[in-house]
Amino acid sequence: MSTRQLKQDHVTVRRIRDIAQRCSNQLYAGRNVPLEDIQIISVVIEEFVDAFHHGKEEKAYFPANEGKSAAHAEEIRKFVAEHEFGRRIARMMLRSLMEWKSGVDGREPVARFLKTYAIYVTDHTTKEERFFDVAEKTISESEDNDLLRRYEICKKDVGGSARVEELLRLIEYLEEREWM
């Protein structure tokens, strides 16, 4: 159940990836994407992907699994490093967006960072899901219940169910935009 939740999050993370990739494609093609929409992409990445989803992994799932084997510990170390890489891409994209909003043409760097983020998500979620398939076989029922309780704490850390629902609505909003 706890692993299934993370895999379900990945479905949403891949929707965000698709939005980022489409936005990048449009920018590279010289088409206009409202800067406010790109700002929303940044918020969704920061809050849903990083704070909520990666929070569940880093604060709950990974700590529960890293002591089970040296291989698990090594994989988890790599995933946490990849999370930091994703954060850096998102920060660079946001910095370029802020410069663009202040008058400096940021079309190309924003497009490049969005494309890079989309590639990162594809690679990262694929590797994590292979790990989840192995790790979930070692999780007892009591560990699973404990993880689910910890996930609820992570949800509260990002503003609770209402904020997560709002982020999901923002993803739907972006998916329905004309430029998509």
Q: From the centroid of its chain, how far is CA 41?
A: 11
Cα separation, 116 vs 73, whole angstroms: 27
Query: What confidence tens digit (pLDDT) does each residue in 53-78 have?
Result: 999 999 999 999 988 889 889 999 99
Query: What confidence tens digit (pLDDT) does each residue in 74-132 have?
Result: 999 999 999 999 999 999 999 999 999 999 999 999 999 999 999 999 999 999 999 99
Q: Is residue 164 within a helix (H) or strand (E), and if so which, with residue range?
A: helix 160-175
Q: From the centroid of its chain, how far is CA 125?
A: 9
Cβ atoms within 10 Å of 108's Cβ, excluding its own: 12
Cα separation, 65 vs 51, whole angstroms: 20
CA angle 61, 66, 72 (to 5 degrees): 105
Give the pLDDT of residue 69.
Answer: 87
Give the pLDDT of residue 66.
Answer: 87
Cα separation, 83 vs 7, whole angstroms: 16
Give the pLDDT of residue 61.
Answer: 94
* pTM of structure: 0.94
**In CATH, what is the architecture of 2-175?**
Up-down Bundle (1.20)
Q: In degrees rounded to 5, what are phi and psi of residue 139? A: -90, 120
In this predicted structure, the answer to whether residue 22 has a pLDDT above a threshold of 90 is yes
| Domain range list for the chain | 2-175
CA angle 114, 116, 118 (to 5 degrees): 70
Give the pLDDT of residue 174.
Answer: 98
Asked whether the beta carbons of 19 and 171 are under 8 A apart, the reply is: yes
Give the pLDDT of residue 67.
Answer: 87
Query: What confidence tens digit (pLDDT) does each residue in 23-48 have?
Result: 999 999 999 999 999 999 999 999 99
Question: Mean of the pLDDT values across residues 161-180?
Answer: 97
Give the pLDDT of residue 74.
Answer: 94
